Amino acid sequence: MLVANSRLIGTPILSVQAGGPIARIASSIVDPNDLKILAFRLEGPLIDRNTNILDVRSIREYSNYGMVIDDIEELVAPDDVIKIQQVLELNFDLIGLRAKTKKGSKLGRVIDFTITSEDFITQQIIVRRPTIKALVDPELTISRKEIVEITDYEIIIKDEEKTIKARAEKEDFVPNFVNPFRNQEKGFAPAETKGPKD
């Protein structure tokens, strides 16, 4: 199932041991090498600031109710897991990165991304267009397959802007309904109104 990162923020963390919620997700920790969420930073009254990291490998289940873990003891400190520590030291954040094509055409900035709930790997990035381009096309959804390179400040996309737009145009919805509010001059005759039956 595809889930937007913005929907994950605030998700309850449920403990089997405690029998209920123990925290909420504050932010995602994303590995820039493969765009996979490695862990989540948590917040809540039961959470110690020194051990507020939830490794995604500790998640038993993700549903509409929240993420289920065995116990609060599953939470770790930022430096307990080497891989998570290394990513935290990079201070990488996918949100806010500029997106542009290989030829340098600016596409906008990343405002969200979607992941698969089974493995927490990013599948798409959502890019808000620059002001002028936003009048025609406010957002772009770009597949991970189109990403060529990621730096501290930018995501480079292999497809040209025209290719991205062409793909979006293929998915355009063409309505096939009749508008019941058209007037008679345009071919619509409203039904006669009748009063209540005697």
Indicate whether 166 and 102 sit together in one domain.
Answer: yes
Helix (H, G, I), strand (E, B) or coil at 28: strand
Work out how many domains the chain is built from and give that number: 2
What's the pLDDT tens digit per position in 43-101? 999 998 889 999 999 999 998 899 999 999 999 999 999 999 999 999 999 999 999 99
Indicate whether 43 and 111 sit together in one domain.
Answer: no
Q: Give the residues across from 12 on adjacent strands.
A: 24
Over 60: is that where the pLDDT of 169 sits? no
In terms of residue numbers, what domain contains 20? 2-90
For residue 75, what are its two tokens?
């939470």
State how far the Cα of 46 lies from the Cα of 131, in Å rounded to an integer: 43
For residue 118, what are its two tokens?
């089974």
Indicate whether 77 and 6 sit together in one domain.
Answer: yes
pLDDT of residue 34: 93
pLDDT of residue 157: 92
CATH (domain of 143) = 2.30.30.240
pLDDT of residue 83: 94
Over 70: is that where the pLDDT of 41 sits? yes
Over 50: is that where the pLDDT of 37 sits? yes
Domain ends where: 90, 124, 155?
90
Tell me whether residue 73 is in a domain.
yes
**% helix / strand / coil in the chain, to the nearest 5?**
20, 35, 40
Residues 85, 91, 94, 95: what is their CA dihedral angle, to the nearest 10 degrees?
130
**Amino acid identity, residue 155?**
I
State how far the Cα of 75 lies from the Cα of 128, in Å rounded to an integer: 34
State how far the Cα of 41 lies from the Cα of 145, in Å rounded to an integer: 27
Domain ends where: 61, 90, 119?
90
What is the DSSP-derived secondary structure letter of residue 22?
E
Contact criterion met (CB below 8 Å) for 156 and 149: yes
pLDDT band at 32 (very low <50, low <70, confident <90, very high): very high
Tell me whether residue 148 is in a domain.
yes
What's the pLDDT tens digit per position in 174-193? 444 444 444 444 444 444 44
What's the pLDDT tens digit per position in 116-153? 999 999 999 999 887 665 556 668 889 999 999 998 89
